[in-house]
Amino acid sequence: MRYVWLLACMLLIFINFLYCPFQEKALALEQPVFNMKNKSERALIMKGPSTKREIALTFDDAPDDIFTPKILDILKEKKVKATFFLVGHRIEKYPDIAKRIVQEGHAVGNHSYNHPNFLQMKEADFKRQINRTDKLISSLTGSVPTIVRPPYGEINDKQIEWLTKYKRVVVEWDVDSLDWKGLKSEEIVNNILSGVNPGSIVLLHSGTGEGGDLSGTVEALSTVIDDLRKKGFKMVTIPDLLDIP
């Protein structure tokens, strides 16, 4: 009997040894980005802390002159602050709508200048994409954006390392609405509500290319906001969710 007890103790110690590193990593992911000793651990974020019932609605490819204004109208009506990842050449094309995003209190991030795949770019070209859009966003907000979202979510370690050097945070997502496919509002609502948890970062779009259709997003947004509130979620910006400047 004594040997069985001893064997059980050794097994528990072994399991704890295997589990602890992963547990420590998980706990680290709950800490605010800029309060961590090793900031590189949080260079790329897919989800916020699960300690509060907060989520972030994020909109890529802004601005445009068709869907972005409609989305802004709904957010204003529902008193929700969201995060818009802006594309540089669209800021130039629709400056008044870009200004409206900022004036209405939404957070903004860098989403490149013309939406290339960063993995297919030379280092110098990648940096130009970021720097050029930084200048455009700075002209709107008075400061360089802290958050960056790579087009298609594609980015390599060297690019992340360069962004981290300048205290940037790469923000991806854990809930994808798939609205870019031109889905119906019911599908978009289901894709979001079936996947959200405390700390979730939801990917939506507020701008699209020629022939793209985000009417499903516009139709779904009010329902999404109302249902999330019924479930006790508070919608916040990425800086508020992640506790970053």
- Residue 127 tokens read as 């940096």
36 located within any domain: no
102 located within any domain: yes
150 located within any domain: yes
153 located within any domain: yes
For residue 92, the surrounding DSSP H or E stretch is helix 88-93
Q: Which of 65, 106, 205, 226 is catalytic?
A: 205
pLDDT of residue 183: 97
User: What's the pLDDT band for 17 if we cut at 50, 70, 90?
Assistant: very low
The answer to whether residues 154 and 188 touch, using CB atoms and an 8 Å cutoff, is no
pLDDT digits (tens, 9 = 90+) for 205-230: 999 988 899 999 999 999 999 999 99
What value does the mean pLDDT take over residues 170-178?
Answer: 98
Residue 166 per-residue DSSP state:
T
DSSP-assigned letters across all residues of 176-233: E--GGG---HHHHHHHHHTT--TT-EEEEES---TT---HHHHHHHHHHHHHHHHTT-
pLDDT of 167 higher than 60: yes
What value does the mean pLDDT take over residues 128-149?
Answer: 97
- Residue 158 tokens read as 């060297």
pLDDT of 130 higher than 50: yes
pLDDT digits (tens, 9 = 90+) for 73-105: 999 999 999 999 999 999 999 999 999 999 999
More confident residue, 138 or 1: 138
22 located within any domain: no
Percent of the chain residues topping a pLDDT of 70: 83
21 located within any domain: no
CATH of the domain at 226: 3.20.20.370
DSSP-assigned letters across all residues of 14-51: HHHHHHHHHHHHHHHTTS-GGG-SSGGGGSEES---SS
The answer to whether residues 243 and 96 touch, using CB atoms and an 8 Å cutoff, is no
Helices (H) and strands (E) in the chain, counts: 9, 9
Q: Which of 60, 64, 134, 179 is catalytic?
A: 60
15 located within any domain: no
Q: Counting beta carbons within 10 angstroms of the beta carbon of residue 128, is it exposed (0 to 12), middle (13 to 18) or buried (19 or more)?
A: middle
Q: Counting beta carbons within 10 angstroms of the beta carbon of residue 46, is it exposed (0 to 12), middle (13 to 18) or buried (19 or more)?
A: middle
Active site residue 65: no
24 located within any domain: no
CA distance 49 to 28: 10
CA distances for 100 relative to 96, 162, 170, angstroms: 6, 30, 24
Count of domains observed in the chain: 1
Indicate the average pLDDT of the chain: 87
CA distance 200 to 184: 22
Active site residue 111: no
pLDDT of 154 higher than 80: yes
User: What's the pLDDT band for 245 if we cut at 50, 70, 90?
Assistant: confident
pLDDT of 146 higher than 90: yes
Residue 200, domain extent: 44-242
- Residue 116 tokens read as 């290339």
pLDDT of residue 104: 98
CA distance 179 to 226: 18
